[in-house]
Chains A and B, each alone.
Chain A
Amino acid sequence: AQSVTQPDIHITVSEGASLELRCNYSYGATPYLFWYVQSPGQGLQLLLKYFSGDTLVQGIKGFEAEFKRSQSSFNLRKPSVHWSDAAEYFCAVGEDNTDKLIFGTGTRLQVFP
């Protein structure tokens, strides 16, 4: 069965530091991969998605993610974190290439000034 693993439940970084959030997936075919963010009091917002093509995808708010098939990973990165990036981040895989998503458990990001 398809699954998504986000091994880090909680990450704390200083403002201006670089960030990498890990995501591993289990999926038989070429996956559709997503990163969503939920800021306090907000709904889930799509940061970026990978369907095919270039394995390095750019998203909103300066985020990027790299699809590595050999490692079954889709890690999210940002070179310099801002205090407003404090939120919970969810990695997801599209099941059977549909809009139905399987989510990881989320990583809560805390940013210190």
Chain B
Amino acid sequence: EAGVTQFPSHSVIEKGQTVTLRCDPISGHDNLYWYRRVMGKEIKFLLHFVKESKQDESGMPNNRFLAERTGGTYSTLKVQPAELEDSGVYFCASSPLGAGELFFGEGSRLTVL
């Protein structure tokens, strides 16, 4: 069974550009989460989807971040326009409903120059 996959693994962009990160959860997992780790800090929650609905987006930093999960399958996280402080590793995780365990992807490293 395929795990959570994320693309790209690493993206380097200039300040002001746009980047879109993609996450494919484990098949059948209704819960999908985005987390972010900036260098040296803790991994922080960004938002949570249940199927295609945003359940909790309290961790989204500002309106430059837009997450979607059309059809309740894969999800995208767009940063537009990117700022220097957006650099970090963006993790996606999925779980079945009520599982009590998250399955994480390898993360997408974003570097904003």
Contact = CB atoms under 8 A, between A and B. Distances in A.
Interface string A21-57: 0000000000010101000011111100101000000
26 contacts: A4-B42, A32-B100, A36-B104, A43-B4, A43-B105, A43-B106, A44-B91, A44-B104, A46-B101, A49-B100, A49-B101, A92-B43, A99-B31, A99-B33, A99-B48, A99-B95, A99-B99, A99-B100, A99-B101, A100-B33, A100-B45, A101-B45, A104-B42, A105-B40, A105-B41, A106-B42
Contacts of A104: 42
Interface of B: 3-4, 31, 33, 35, 40-45, 48, 56, 91, 93, 95, 99-107
Contact of A41 (B45, B103, B106): B106
A90 B100 contact: no
Nearest to B102: A99
Nearest to B3: A43
**Majority SS of interface residues in chain A?**
strand
B28 to A, nearest CB: 15
A45 to B, nearest CB: 7
